[in-house]
Amino acid sequence: MAASRVHTRCLCCLQKLFPKPKLNPKLILNNFSSNFNLVKSRAVSSVLSKDGWGKGAKFEPFQVMVERRRSEASRSILFFLSERSCLENLIEYCNSHGKVQNCFEFYQNAYFAVVEFKKKESVKLIQERVYSSRGIGRFNDELIQNRLLKYNIKSSQASTIRPKNIVNKDFPNSQLIKTVCHGDSVSNQIEMLATEQALTDEGIRMRFLVCTLIEDACRKMFPECEVLPFGSSVNNFGKRNCDVDMFIDPKIGHGMIPVAQSAKKFKVEYDQSSADNERIATQNTLRTLSKYLEKCVPHCTNVLKILHATCPLVKFKHQALGLSCDLTANNRGAIDSSEMLYIFSKLDKRVQPLVFLIRHWCRYHGLTNKNPGQWITNYPLTLLVVVFLQTRRVPILPKLVDLINADLSFDDIDYSFPDLKGFPHQADDTSLADLLHEFFVFCTKFDFGNQGLSVRHGSVFHNDSRFPLFIENPLVYHLNCCKNVTKALVTKLRSSAAEALWVMDQPGFLDSTPWGIGMLFLTPRKLEKIQKEQNVAAFGKRVGRVLGLFPN
């Protein structure tokens, strides 16, 4: 038997420890994929009534989805595959410890695989048999992140050219435009864009996995803690490269905070200032956690604490999974807002593709930006689309007040979203293309300066604040979630919407190259050329009217 090499941190020296499996790797792969399909279809728990929102669609409640994904992640191991090893052998090896339920390989500066076992005991078994420089099974006591192992068995099949499955990467705009040009209608193009951009199953698994890895690490400090994902990783509006927003609930006594005793030693103790002030407790907790991530948790790099923000956070990168993460504490409300968006996305199948298209359009036209500043961010932008769908002549989405089980007259509410079975739904079959056109009309006509938007009441209200854009935070009464947005940005939103309407109304919209929504993502030079060829005076007048330069 050939000796395998030993990695210094987290590794398995397997050939010595286990007999060669007798199973054919190809068979195992096939087996496991058909099992996975079965599991998937069983997980979908309830079906909406025929007359309800999202007619006939299968609906998995948010909590059920989160629990299912967390369970998958906690039964998964992240393997680093050495140059000489291959996925098929790894699956053979894993199957000899317990049934493998799902597995995929990805490339992140090196080859990795995520293996999900049917039972948690199989993970334990592998951990117990892992070989480290201190001997078999010693590994658990020594290392914090013990579900990140190295598989280093030489494979007879490992080919020199291995495909690189890059999971967390957005497609460039040019490629998306090329793809959607194969669509057969504008509505179909909008759906295609969403399909191309949306998080894949692998991407979702990796995001839940990173949360459980951080949870494992933090449990050395807080044995009961939970680390839960929120935001675009779970709300159905996540792109392939979206960040992972996570929050830690330490589940410790009031006023208890973690403190560093030395570079690598931490303990939990009582702190009076933290007991008196929740924000101070959050800041103290995150300050210590940032040190802990940096010094003790493998693969956490670029750790940056931002403790004076409205919502204090620690940013870091998980190198092996290639994910940018934002860790917050004391932030359960963010889970509620994620659940709310998840439900809105499930209520009507047009919501998700429309939001994807509008997010992409806003990004392309500089209305959103990955850096903080005057820009509208994706969360309020999604709320803008939701209010548009709630307030149109035939609402496509219900008011939040009609959706949740809570008394909205109080601020501090424990929200609960009901089973959507039988939720009344008004028939409306407006196409996605028409909805997009309507959205642009909405943006050009809406009086953002004098009116605010409320998802909670599915209505507009008089905006007597100084904010040029007021989108009420649906779960925190009367707070504006776009306080940062400037008047210039609102003007840009309206003029860009007017420009988009002009483009959509051009006779060549359906037969130019690129056609349809491809025309909404032209370079400024190309757009200018078309404007010159068409009626530039009419275009200028239309945009000018939107901006109030020419009265009607």
Q: Which residues are near Mg ion by CB under 5 A?
A: 231-232, 243, 245
Map the footprint of ligand CTP across residues 458-517, applying CB under 6 A: 473, 481
**Is the torsion defined by CA of 323, 476, 48, 60 positive or negative?**
positive
222 binds ligand CTP (CB under 6 A): no
Output the smallest distance, CB 511 to ligand CTP, in A.
34
Contact pattern from residue 178 through residue 217 relative to ligand CTP, giving x for each residue in contact according to CB under 6 A and a dash for the rest? ----------------------------------------
State which of residues 10, 158, 217, 242 lies at the interface with ligand CTP (CB under 6 A): 242
> Measured between alpha carbons, how far apart are the two ends of the chain, in Å?
85
Residue 236 interacts with ligand CTP (CB under 6 A): yes or no: no
SS3 73: helix
Distance of CA 424 to the CA centre of its chain: 29
Compute and round to an integer the Cα radius of gyration of the chain. Answer: 26
Residues whose CB is less than 8 angstroms from the CB of residue 257 and which lie 6 or more positions away in sequence, other chains included: 268, 269, 270, 271, 274, 281, 284, 285, 288
Would you count residue 454 as binding ligand CTP (CB under 6 A)?
Answer: no
Task: For the CB of residue 228, give the shortest distance to ligand CTP in the complex, in Å.
Answer: 12
Nearer to Mg ion by Cβ, of 234 and 453: the residue is 234
When asked if residue 35 is in the footprint of ligand CTP (CB under 6 A), the reply is: no
Three-state DSSP at 386 gives: helix
Does 232 sit near ligand CTP (CB under 6 A)?
A: yes
Examine residue 266 and tell whether it contacts ligand CTP (CB under 6 A).
no
Angle at 271 between CA 267 and CA 275, to 5 degrees: 125
106/356 with CB nearer ligand CTP: 356
3-state helix, strand, coil in the chain (%, to 5): 40, 15, 40
Regarding 337 and contact with ligand CTP (CB under 6 A), the answer is: yes
173 binds ligand CTP (CB under 6 A): no
Least distance between Mg ion and beta carbon 378 (Å): 7
Smallest gap, in angstroms, from Cβ of residue 209 to ligand CTP?
18
Q: Which residues contact 227 (CB under 8 A, 6 or more apart)?
A: 211, 212, 214, 215, 218, 246, 247, 248, 249, 327
Both tokens of 268, joined, read 């939990």
Question: Judged by CB under 6 A, does residue 231 bind ligand CTP?
Answer: yes
191 to 13, 233, 349, 386: CA distances (angstroms): 47, 19, 10, 18
Q: Of all residues in this chain, which one has the CB nearest to Mg ion in the complex?
A: 231
Among 230, 292, 415, 417, binds ligand CTP (CB under 6 A): 230
Which one among 245, 348, 472, 499 touches ligand CTP, defined by CB under 6 A? 245
User: What H or E segment, with its residue span, contains residue 135?
Assistant: strand 135-136
SS3 227: strand
**Residue among 519, 501, 502 at smallest CA distance from 510:** 519
Looking at the Cβ atoms of 443 and 475, the one nearer to ligand CTP is: 475
Tokens of 59: 């609906």
Q: Of ligand CTP, Mg ion, none, which one sits near residue 337, judging by CB under 5 to 8 A according to partner kind?
A: ligand CTP
338 binds, among Mg ion, ligand CTP, none (CB under 5 to 8 A by kind): ligand CTP
Taking the least distance from each CB to ligand CTP, the nearer of 126 and 242 is 242
By beta-carbon proximity to ligand CTP, the closer residue of 36 and 171 is 171
- 66-76 burial code (b ≥16 CB/10 A, e <16): bebbbebbbbb
209/313 with CB nearer ligand CTP = 313
With contacts defined by CB under 6 A, name the span among 58-66, 128-136, 240-248, 539-547 that binds ligand CTP.
Answer: 240-248
Query: If binding is defined by CB under 6 A, does position 352 make contact with ligand CTP?
Result: no
Q: What is the DSSP string of 316-343?
A: EEETTTTEEEEEEES-THHHHHHHHHHH
* CB closer to Mg ion, 105 vs 245: 245
Among Mg ion, ligand CTP, none, the one that 126 touches (CB under a kind-dependent 5 to 8 A) is none
> Residue 316, interface with ligand CTP (CB under 6 A)?
no
Cα-based angle 325, 246, 320 (whole degrees, multiple of 5): 40
Q: Which residues bind ligand CTP (CB under 6 A)?
A: 230-232, 235, 238, 242-243, 245, 334, 337-338, 377-379, 473, 481
